[in-house]
Amino acid sequence: MRLVMFAALLLSGCSVNGGVATQAEKKAGMEAQRENMVRTQIEDRGVRDLAVARAMRAVPRHLFVPESVVPNAYEDRPLAIGENQTISQPYIVALMTELARVEPGERVLEVGTGSGYQTAVLLAMGAEVYTIEIVPTLAARAKQTLDAMYPEAQLHTRTGDGYRGWPEAAPFDAIIVTAAPDHIPQPLVDQLALAGRLVIPGGGVNQNLMVLTKEAGGVRREEVAPVRFVPMTGEAQHPAAPPQADPNQPSRDH
């Protein structure tokens, strides 16, 4: 409790002695809040992947939110980032990353860059990341932040509709979708490598977080937990053609 109170004082701009907090004190306050976030919101809820926990500890979430909500950056909830979009709850970011089972050097597609926070977590895990954002202002802001923080990273950004993925960069070892379509985009399934994982919220009004794993005999689907994401826009709302399952890749639930 004293640690959290101390961090809150630093975030407010005051030191424990009543003066203006120094940059070092502010940094320490943010680090304390980030550590508390990982322990209480992520590890205590069952996320066990140590690489995910390290990445969440390493990425400064407060740099990916508007200045007006920086004091709330490490709270257990999504936050508005403008354009009717949000940065996801920290636990959900950690859970989706763990479900994607990302290994260093793997090629990962992210559909919905948003603030760039999920992108940063993937980069911190050593992935080569391809990320697409349909809202130009968010895409530009995220790219600026990510380029400044990770100038040497294997990062590829694109502004546009992510429904059809990034075919020229496929296949992907993992795909993470951070908005909810009412059906699974077949192009994303097609762009998975064998044993690749697609982590996606879906189901319209009653959303569920799902993992689709491409196997030699088809696609295995697992429903993980109920979630609430903003709807996926663009072609997801009005597909150019009805999504057709590949008859040679039958889907099966697990």
Contacts of 189 by beta carbon, 8 Å cutoff, 6+ apart:
198, 212, 214, 219, 246, 249
Provide the residue range defining the domain that includes 184. Answer: 77-253
User: Which pTM was predicted?
Assistant: 0.85
- Residue 254 is predicted with a pLDDT of 33
CA distance 176 to 166: 13
In a domain, 149, yes or no: yes
In a domain, 7, yes or no: no
On the question of a cis peptide bond just before residue 171, with omega within 30 degrees of 0, the verdict is yes
Tokens of 202: 């879906």
Residues listed for the chain: 254
In a domain, 4, yes or no: no
- Residue 20 is predicted with a pLDDT of 53
**Residue for token digits 């491409």?**
214
In a domain, 160, yes or no: yes
In a domain, 144, yes or no: yes
- Residue 21 is predicted with a pLDDT of 64
Contacts of 125 by beta carbon, 8 Å cutoff, 6+ apart:
51, 52, 55, 97, 102, 104
Q: How many independent structural domains does the chain possess?
A: 1
Report the alpha-carbon angle 196-197-202, nearest 5. 145
User: Which residues in the chain show pLDDT less than 70?
Assistant: 1-21, 240-254
CA dist 244 to 97, 147, 184, 241, 249, Å? 28, 37, 10, 8, 11
In a domain, 92, yes or no: yes
- 18 phi/psi in degrees, rounded to 5: 90, -5
- Residue 5 is predicted with a pLDDT of 42
* pLDDT tens figures, 138-192: 999 999 999 999 998 999 999 999 999 999 999 999 999 999 998 999 999 999 9
In a domain, 228, yes or no: yes
In a domain, 185, yes or no: yes
Q: Give residue 112's Cα distance to chain centre.
A: 8
- Residue 170 is predicted with a pLDDT of 98
Check if 88 is active-site: yes
- Residue 241 is predicted with a pLDDT of 55
CA dist 158 to 46, 60, 86, 138, 139, Å? 33, 23, 19, 11, 8
Q: Which of 12, 15, 68, 88 is catalytic?
A: 88
- Residue 23 is predicted with a pLDDT of 80
Residue 12 · residue 71 · CB < 8 Å: yes
Core vs surface per residue 156-168: b (16+ CB within 10 A) or e: ebbbebbbbbbee
- CATH code of the domain covering residue 133: 3.40.50.150
CA distance 128 to 116: 14
